[in-house]
Amino acid sequence: MIEHINWYPGHMKKTRALIQENLKLVDAAVEVIDARIPVSSRNPIIDELVKNKRRIVILNKSDLSDASANQAWERYFKDQGNLVLTMNCMSGTGAARLLKLLGSLQEEKNQGQTRKKPYRLMIAGVPNVGKSSLINRLTGKKSAQTGDRPGVTKGKQWLNLPGNMQLLDTPGILWPKFEDPKTGLNLAFCGSIKDEILDVADLALELITVLQVDYPGLLRERYKLEELPEAPLSTMEAMALKRGCILPGKRIDYDRIAKVTLDEFRAGVIGNITLERPDHE
């Protein structure tokens, strides 16, 4: 297994301080997580900082994850006292429901008040979970820069939302050390950690190892394999042969099949996959 994935650029340390400074200014925190890896994409730093603030958990990229797992995670987070929505922030699915929820929270805050105060939110999450796409949906314009690579959002932005609401955007942050190597792997699988700092062939092999156990049918169907070899490396080589990822001398092009596998997983082409389930399910 790939171990000790550490990616903690200096700007992330500054972001933690920025969140601490500005949390007192907001009424609620919107935490965006990846529905495929709800545990790994939940930042313990956010947990620590938000504390007793009202929290809205957004299970983003729910179009890429397993529908039954989405329901299980909704129940799990609601049981913890959070408000929860499944969304596809890129397409806008769920945005209307979120705005309606925020509107009700705004009314609750200003109930009985002569002067209506703006409802202020902070949006936070690890890199590449879809924060910028969500912001653009809420504001109805391209207020935040988006990209399929982590670390696109820079600095702090206060953005105006419909209904006299304001939103504080912050750059994505990770924590300095992954206590569980699987957390780092899951984030890497989903693209929250830059591929450039990893061996993509090893990373793809780790992903194939997981899928071979949890979603063997999807793996067989996508790569047209009659059966899966017992060893994940043999599966990877069979996938390479099916896709023509071959070097001169009939050698397997491991880097090419690795990139294909990771790209297709991240795009949801292999199928709807969730890599983590609630413990009690």
* pLDDT tens sequence across 23-76: 888 999 999 999 999 999 987 777 777 777 899 999 999 999 999 999 999 999
119: three-class secondary structure by DSSP: strand
Q: Which residue has the tokens 């989903």?
A: 190
Domains of the chain are: 10-169 (3.40.50.300), 199-266 (1.10.1580.10)
* pLDDT tens sequence across 141-170: 765 544 444 444 445 668 888 888 999 876
The span from the CA of 236 to the CA of 241, in Å, is 9
The mean of the pLDDT values for the chain is 86
Other residues' Cβ atoms within 10 Å of the Cβ of residue 25: 11
Per DSSP, 251 falls in state E
Instruction: DSSP for 8-51, please give it.
Output: --HHHHHHHHHHHHHGGG-SEEEEEEETTSTTTTS-HHHHHHHT
pTM: 0.85
Burial class (CB in 10 A: 0-12, 13-18, 19+), 217: exposed
User: Do residues 137 and 115 make contact, with C-beta atoms less than 8 angstroms apart?
Assistant: no
